[in-house]
Amino acid sequence: HEAIELTEAARIAGVDACLLVTPYYNKPTQEGLFLFHKLIASSVSIPQILYNVPGRTACDMSNQTVDRLASIDGIIGIKDATGDNQRGRELIALCEDRIAIYSGDDPTAAELILAGAKGDISVTANIAPKQMADMCNAASSKDFQLAEKIDKQIAGLHSALFIEPNPVLPKWALYKMGLTNSAFLRLPLVESELASQNHIEQVMRSSGVLS
């Protein structure tokens, strides 16, 4: 009920679409996942993108469940943050004619887009938006060499931003770039360690996002 209420609130606020993560902690069955997302889609008339990130939720939506959900009106895509591109390619083969497949894993995004994914819902793009957009556009155009070149330039960011739990270091990086007034986080997240800050600053400079 909370998910429906919040999705409806987002619709009223005028958003273009909602990103709906799989339920965490209670570890539902695949049938439970199907019915959960089906109910939200039938209850709120707004485009919805499924979000599968088992590393965070301890809940993994199978490709077969996504295939079932892909035929439901209102469900237009999925952010696949598994990092398993073999599985991602299987998902593209199953569903790309009905929903858009997006990567949710920056280190493997170029490869998945080259395989047919429609883009990347990215963490690194918060820090390096132009480079990530250029990489996605190159990969979408099947320009392997350019996509690989750009991806190598920012590969260090993909890993460095996650040496502490996201969004700790992305928020600090934005603060360092002068784009936010602070790197404040709500508990239980806390300010990044000095060693992490020094490392991400070095990577930001080598990637060209910080002069």
| pLDDT in the model for residue 137 | 97
pLDDT tens profile 9-39: 999 999 999 999 999 999 999 999 999 999 9
Round to whole Å and give the CA distance between 187 and 196.
19
Provide mean pLDDT across the span 176-188: 95
Of 51, 102, 171, 176, which one is the catalytic site residue? 51
* pLDDT higher than 90, residue 211: no
* pLDDT higher than 90, residue 160: yes
| pLDDT in the model for residue 48 | 98
Round to whole Å and give the CA distance between 123 and 138.
19
The residue written with tokens 């739990």 in the block is 165
Provide mean pLDDT across the span 121-134: 97
Q: Which residues pair with 19 in a beta bridge?
A: 49
Supply the DSSP symbol for 72: S
Residues 6+ apart with CB under 8 A from 182: 175
Is 175 annotated as catalytic? no
| pLDDT in the model for residue 140 | 97
Is 118 annotated as catalytic? no
Round to whole Å and give the CA distance between 115 and 117.
6
Of 25, 27, 38, 79, which one is the catalytic site residue? 79
pTM surpassing 0.85? yes
Round to whole Å and give the CA distance between 157 and 98.
33
Crossing angle of helices 144-160 and 194-207, in 10° steps, is: 160
| pLDDT in the model for residue 133 | 97
| pLDDT in the model for residue 109 | 97
pLDDT tens profile 36-79: 999 999 999 999 999 999 999 999 999 999 999 999 999 999 99
Whether residue 165 contacts residue 189, with contact meaning beta carbons closer than 8 Å, is answered with: yes
Whether residue 22 contacts residue 59, with contact meaning beta carbons closer than 8 Å, is answered with: yes
